[in-house]
Structure 1
Amino acid sequence: MAIFKQYTKKDGSKAWLLQAYLGVDEVTGKEVRTTRRGFKSKKEAQLKLNELVLEFEKNGLKKNEQLTFNQVYNDWIEQYKNTVKESTFKKTITLFKHHILPFFGNMRINKIEVSHCQKAVNLWAKKLKRFKMTVNYAGMVFDYSIRLGLISNNPMKLITMPVIKNEVEEEVNNFYTKDELTQFFNYLEKENDPKIYALFRVLAFVGCRKGEALALTWNDINFEDKQIIINKTLTRGINNNLIIQTPKTAHSKRVISVDDKTLDILKKWRVTQKKEYFIRGYNTLNKSQLVFSNTANDLLQPTITRKFQVRLENKYGMRRITTHGFRHTHCSLLFEAGASIKEVQDRLGHTDIQTTMNIYAHVSQKKKEQTADIFADYVGI
């Protein structure tokens, strides 16, 4: 049964609409009805109805509806959230909100072609440093569409991935040399902030991630055995609130040996922390006490490190690296000191060794360049 009506549009022109019963959804058992508007004539509306009926009988409800990318995404994200940590889920929905959905959101999933995907990827490559991750996430929605039977292949897998010049060079140069690191701590000491000094000491001399350092409690530090246990990390949850959760990967859980001076700096900070926070009304003697906390003795904002780095850059002209660059610094100087690739990988908790290898290659090249000078200095003629 179908109803055809002529109606008046907002601009005063006439058009036809149809209201029709298409059949019963085999999955839900519910009746499927549809309303379509904007036809120039009744005949055009009747032809569209015939097309809809045939398509429904052949393909069922989902294909008939011609779902948009956004509709498929909403279904996919509900399944995805049960497979990842809260912090990863939060980053994923942010990525879709700001980059993927603005491009594909309103497009019919079965009408998206390789050319559309290529245009999106080229755009992301210009705007995003980690654009390949965005490509992968968009591809997950297309893969989900294939499983639903909405499309037959993933157009995102057929794009040509742009090559960004100096991408690797920027990554491997994100660390300090031995002299620059010494200079950094000399300047930082002048700022007279023992908590921040201890924090950067841990980042540079333990090589842990910033989130791992900010999640440390005093019972994670074994002063007798000279070890720090990494078993949790600070990150952001769905509502952008700070949370503590398990580390980035299973390989990230590790026990790291610590040098005597770093342990001595941490001991001195613990004494200072006890005095400063007692004045504020907090008892910091319990074992679950955070090593680095804010003035309310709660989780410290991760942006605190960047704040001090900018201060030193502006005040003393220090070369800019990211906070994560201190982890790369640790990696680089370990290689210069003679540590093996395997030793560095285990210490840093790398699952993917590629970043370690990039820095290793950079340090190896530096040593190769010094070889000629070593020979000439030795021969002396």
Structure 2
Amino acid sequence: MASFQKYKTKDGYKWLYKYYSTVNPSTGKKKQTTKRGFNTKKEAQLDAGQTEQDLANGTFVEEAESLTFEEVYKQWLATHSPTIKPSTRKTEEYKFNKHILPNFGKLKIRDISKPYCQEIINRIAKELKTADAMKMYANQIFKYAVKMDIVLKNPMEHVVVPKNDSDFVVSESTEKRNYWEKHEIKQFLSILKEGQSFMDHVMFHLFIYTGARKGEILALHESDIDFKNKILTLNKTLYHENKAFSYQTSKTAASKRSISLDDVTLRLLRKWLTHNKERHLSEGMRTDSDSLLFARFDGTPLRMAYPNDRLNEIITKHNLHKITVHGLRHTHASLLFEAGANIKEVQERLGHSDIKMTMNIYTHVTKTVKEQTAQKFQKFLEL
């Protein structure tokens, strides 16, 4: 029979229960285990009843009894890691080490209760806006544990991610705009032509005119440009780790795409390639038949932070509205909408696998588009 006990935590009182599981072969005695984190004694009693039933039915897994969450996480990681890109793996491992393992890692996975999971997600939600993602990551480990018969049920399955009071309050301040409007783009392009290096001019021109991701732009080679058919192929992305670089496949199947180029961009690219080849010849450098479009003096890729640094410098020097490099991608999408492109066209050009991502940009379109919408409605009624 299980025994129940009330205990104090920093978030108030909780309940635990102790029970005897299987027999330790070395001592001949049953092993005592504690399961904690219940809000009420009734919750603890219900869970204890399920545990006793598992023991009676022989469905209690002996080998899994002592496994910690972290040990199961490592099992999952060994299977999961080979299926994802190194950049994705690095991001996921950081999130687990920062937010998930400190709360779950040392606990025996069989002893983690539904109330404890809810308590942790409540706490994370107060600290982070990405509590949904944290729940999703932790949930993967519990789902793996169920699949491997380490636990019978997933305690994270029905956990609810709470919202903060601020989510229900309309803010008086306007949302920070991470894109430029048409007149701001024209000003920026003028600055590029007049006072920046030719490489920076071409690089930022491509950001604005293609909407490509930073890693895609920095991974571009000469062979990715089809001047005859006016096409740019985006099928890889630059990745840096431990001072080494590599080219990874595109983010998703939708990210592998070919997009059309306008005549102004094609002329600028021709001029840039000619400039590069002339510079290499004048300096006695060997010319690669398929070199990087943007590279350091020795031909290696630029730092991933290079576009960020240069954009921030230009914005600060010329007192421009502050946006990020990713904001240039947002800008491209917003101006496409302003020019009359439909949502499907923008989705395909940006390489969004989920149209919801494109819709999120559409909800933040420029002031001009919103004004045009009102004018269209008025004109329609006047017909």
Q: TM-score, normalised on structure 2?
A: 0.76
For 1:189, the equivalent position in structure 2 comes to 193
Range that drifts further, 91-100 or 342-351: 91-100
Aligned-partner Cα distance in 2 for 1:122–1:320: 34
1:198-347 superposed matches below 5 A? 198-236=202-240, 239=242, 241-278=244-281, 282-287=285-290, 289-347=291-349
Q: Whole-Å Cα distance in 2 between the matches of residues 208 and 233 of structure 1?
A: 10
Q: Deviations over 1:101-137 (max 9, x none)?
A: 1222112212223343334434544555544333212
Look up the equivalent residue of 1:305 and give its one-letter code: P
Q: Which residue type is aligned with residue 325 of structure 1?
A: G
Q: Secondary structure at the match of 1:77?
A: helix
In 2, Cα distance between equivalents of 1:375 and 1:354: 25
Q: Show structure 2 runs of 5+ residues with no match.
A: 1-22, 34-51
| Partner SS, residue 150 of structure 1 | coil
Q: Is the 8 A contact 2:337 2:369 kept in 1?
A: no
| Partners of 2:151 and 2:244 in 1: CA distance | 38
* C-alpha separation in 2, matches of 1:171 and 1:270: 40
Judging changes above 3 Å, is the alpha-carbon distance between structure 1 residues 188 and 93 closer, same or farther for their aligned structure 2 residues?
Answer: same
Deviation at 1:173, TM superposition (A): 3.5
Aligned pair 1:98/2:102, yes or no?
no
Relative to structure 1, the CA distance from residue 321 to residue 305 in structure 2 (aligned partners, 3 Å threshold; closer, same or farther) is same
C-alpha distance in structure 2 between counterparts of 1:275 and 1:128, whole Å: 52
- Give yes or no for contact 1:274–1:285 (8 Å, CA) kept in 2: no
Which whole-Å deviations, capped at 9, do the CAs of 1:194-247 have from their partners, x for residues lacking one?
A: 11221111111011111111111001101121110111111245x573210110
Distance apart, 1:255 and its partner CA: 1.0
RMSD: 3.4
Partner of 1:140: 140
Bigger shift: residues 330-339 or 271-280: 271-280
SS in 2 for 1:318: coil
Work out whether residues 274 and 283 of structure 1, in 8 Å CA contact, stay in contact via their aligned partners in 2. no
2-structure distance, mates of 1:184, 1:144 = 50
Q: How far apart, CA to CA, are the structure 1 residues paired with 2:281 and 2:76?
A: 50
CA contact (8 A) 1:215 1:290 kept: yes
Name the structure 2 match of 1:5. Answer: none
Q: Distance in 1 between matches of 2:366 and 2:348?
A: 20
The 8 Å contact of residues 193 and 201 in structure 2, kept in 1 or not, is answered as: yes
Inter-partner Cα distance in structure 1 for 2:213 and 2:183: 22
Shift, 1:157, TM fit = 2.8
Q: Which residue of 1 aligns with 2:63?
A: 62
1:362 to partner: Cα distance: 3.0
Q: How much does 1:72 deviate?
A: 0.6
Residues 136/262 of structure 1: CA separation in 2 closer, same or farther (3 Å cut): same
Alpha-carbon displacement from aligned partner over 1:280-336 (angstroms, at most 9, x marks no partner): 65433412x110112221121110011012112221222222211111111111111
Post-superposition shift, 1:58? 6.5
Distance 2:119 2:161 in 1: 11
- Report the count of equivalent residues: 332
Q: Could you tell me how far apart the structure 1 residues matched to 2:157 and 2:213 are?
A: 32
Q: Given that residues 65 and 110 in structure 2 are in contact (C-alpha distance below 8 angstroms), is that contact kept between their aligned partners in structure 1?
A: no
| 2:91 is equivalent to residue 111 of structure 1 | no
> 1:177 and 1:233 mapped to 2: Cα distance?
27
**Offset at residue 22 of structure 1 (A):** 4.0
Equivalent in the alignment of 1:80: 80
Task: Give the residue type in structure 2 aligned to 1:181.
Answer: I
SS class of match (2:232)? strand
The alpha-carbon distance between structure 1 residues 60 and 113, as it changes in their structure 2 partners (threshold 3 A), is closer
| Separation in 2, partners of 1:185, 1:364 | 19
Letter of the 1:318 partner, please give it. Answer: L
Gap change, CA 1:131 and 1:213, over 3 Å in 2: farther
Aligned in 2, Cα 1:281/1:102: closer, same or farther, shift over 3 Å? farther
- Percent of pairs with identical residues: 37
Give structure 1 stretches of 5+ with no counterpart. Answer: 1-20, 24-32, 34-45
Q: Which has the higher mean CA deviation after the structures are superposed, 256-265 or 362-371?
A: 362-371
Inter-CA distance 124–308: structure 2 relative to 1 (3 Å threshold): farther
1:51 aligns with 2:52: no
- Whether the 8 Å contact between 2:61 and 2:149 is mirrored in structure 1 is no
Cα pair distance change 1:59/1:278, threshold 3 Å = farther
Alpha carbons of 1:321 and 1:127: their partners in 2 closer, same or farther (altered >3 Å)?
Answer: farther
8 A Cα contact 1:146 1:153, kept in partner: yes
**Distance in 2 separating the partners of 1:371 and 1:213:** 33
**Cα deviations across residues 21-62 of structure 1 (Å, max 9, x unaligned)?**
945xxxxxxxxx6xxxxxxxxxxxx7x932369979863432
User: Which AA in structure 1 matches 2:218?
Assistant: L
- Cα distance in 2, alignment partners of residues 371 and 286 from structure 1: 49
Quote the residue 2:42 is aligned against: none
